[in-house]
Amino acid sequence: MTDLTQSAALSRSEPEAVPALRPGLIAKYVFILLWSAFVVFPFLWALTTSFKDANGVTNGATWLPWIQYRPSTQGWSSLFGGAGGTDITRPYLNSIAVTLGASVISITLGTLAAYGLSRFTFRFGWMRNADITFFFISQRIMPPIVLAIPFFLMLQALGLLDTLAGLILVYVALLMPIAVWVMVDFFNSIPRGLDEMAWMDGCDPVTTFVRVILPNALPGLVVAGMFCVIFGWNDFFFAFTLTFTKTQLLPVAIVALNSSVTPWWALSASALISIAPLVLLAFLVERFLSKGGLAGAVR
């Protein structure tokens, strides 16, 4: 197996020799820098706005603290119960609980199903493996708005409205298709010979899966986990329609700030602190990308 991955890694190494367009080189850097500016623009604006107070905001668009406006820490202190904002500690913990809970369940169930679909043949009526895989993945097509009202009534009937458990249940349906999609492709790229060897040694399928396949599937699990965390953490609509005040998630708490007289400083500070954990995830994604770990998983 190590031989296989190594040779795969070798053939995937970045090709060296493609002639660069000399005259285009400046244009290339200009384009890269312009796009970088576009990318960081909202973050820089949010950062500078988070240190303003009412005066700083109503004086128009300013960027430089001390020079153009008097900095204030009002925005940041309001995050933890200070005046003019909303305490986001609870929503933060709620978001972490729902994202992690739903991701772990989705990846567990999704990985098991993906392994089954990759290694065994199933038939339910007219449905074969490819159809079952498509059934899983196709759930992503479902617009949230179609499900919102039935979900509301379903959770109400189960007594799970406005609870963490209810949200986790709904998010599992949202995230499991992603886990299945990534993992089926990944398992298909692991040679079946590996399973057969374990079976010949007398392992049953479950032991084979846990002891032999799972350790080899770690890169795929990381990718699936990343996508689940991104889509779970960033969802707004279900958190918005299925909870009221008891179980607020972060995006809902922040959008609620937007409705009344908007305290831009508190808004900016809370926005920055809630996107921070996933921005760090970008570094992890890039490391995987450079090692070629994503290529197998996204094909």
Partner 1 sequence: MYRQKYLFLLPGLIALTAIILFPLIFTIRVSFSGWDVYNPGLSWAGVKNYVRLFEDTRYWSALSRLSLLAISTVLIQYVLGFALALMVWKDVHARRFFRVLFLVPMMTTPVIMSVIWRTIFHESLGPLNPLLDAIVLGGQPWLSSPGWAFAAVMIVEIWQWTPFMFLLLLAGLLSLPSEPYLAAKIDGAGPVRTFFSVTFPGLAAISVGALLIRLIEASKILDTVYVLTSGGPGEATETASYYIYIRGLRDFQIGYSAALSITYLVIMIVALTIIAKLMVRFLVKGQS
Segment 211-240, which members bind partner 1 (CB under 8 A)? 230, 233-234, 236-237
Q: Does 26 bind partner 1 (CB under 8 A)?
A: no
Q: Which is nearer to partner 1, 98 or 147 (CB)?
A: 147
Stretch that binds partner 1, among 13-21, 81-89, 96-104, 214-222 (CB under 8 A): 13-21
Q: Which residue has the tokens 């303003």?
A: 52
Within 163-182, the residues that bind partner 1 by CB under 8 A are 169-170, 172-173, 176-177, 180
Stretch that binds partner 1, among 17-25, 73-81, 84-92, 214-222 (CB under 8 A): 17-25
Between vectors from CA 104 to CA 101 and to CA 106, what angle results, nearest 5°? 105
For residue 20, the minimal CB distance to partner 1 (Å) is 5
For residue 287, the minimal CB distance to partner 1 (Å) is 9
For residue 3, the minimal CB distance to partner 1 (Å) is 18
Q: Does 32 bind partner 1 (CB under 8 A)?
A: yes
Binding residue for partner 1, selected from 1, 4, 35, 196, defined by CB under 8 A:
35
Q: How far is the CA of 245 from the CAs of 1, 77, 90, 132, 167, in angstroms?
A: 52, 22, 11, 38, 14
Within 81-120, the residues that bind partner 1 by CB under 8 A are 109-110, 112-113, 115-117, 119-120
For residue 77, the minimal CB distance to partner 1 (Å) is 20
Q: Which is nearer to partner 1, 242 or 247 (CB)?
A: 242
Within 51-80, the residues that bind partner 1 by CB under 8 A are 57-58, 60-61, 63
For residue 281, the minimal CB distance to partner 1 (Å) is 6
Within 248-267, the residues that bind partner 1 by CB under 8 A are 250-251, 254-255, 257-258, 262, 264, 267
Within 123-162, the residues that bind partner 1 by CB under 8 A are 132, 136, 139-151, 153-154
Stretch that binds partner 1, among 65-73, 84-92, 188-196, 200-208 (CB under 8 A): 200-208
Binding residue for partner 1, selected from 74, 86, 99, 268, defined by CB under 8 A:
268
Report the distance separating Cα 38 and Cα 35, nearest Å: 5
Q: Which is nearer to partner 1, 247 or 257 (CB)?
A: 257
Q: Which is nearer to partner 1, 77 or 241 (CB)?
A: 241
For the chain, the DSSP string reads -HHHHHHHHHHTSPP------TTHHHHHHHHHHHHHHHHHHHHHHHHHHTT--HHHHHT-----BTTTB----HHHHHTTT-TTS---HHHHHHHHHHHHHHHHHHHHHHHHHHHHHHHS---BTTB-HHHHHHHHHHGGGS-HHHHHHHHHHHHHHHT-TTSHHHHHHHHHHHHHHHHHHHHHHHHHTS-THHHHHHHHTT--HHHIIIIIIHHHTHHHHHHHHHHHHHHHHH--HHHHHH--STT--HHHHHHHHHHSS--HHHHHHHHHHHHHHHHHHHHHHHHHHHTTHHHHHH-
Q: How many amino acids of this chain bind partner 1 (CB under 8 A)? A: 101
Q: Which residues of 78-97 are buried (b: 16+ CB within 10 A; e: fewer)?
A: bbeeeeebbebeebbebbeb
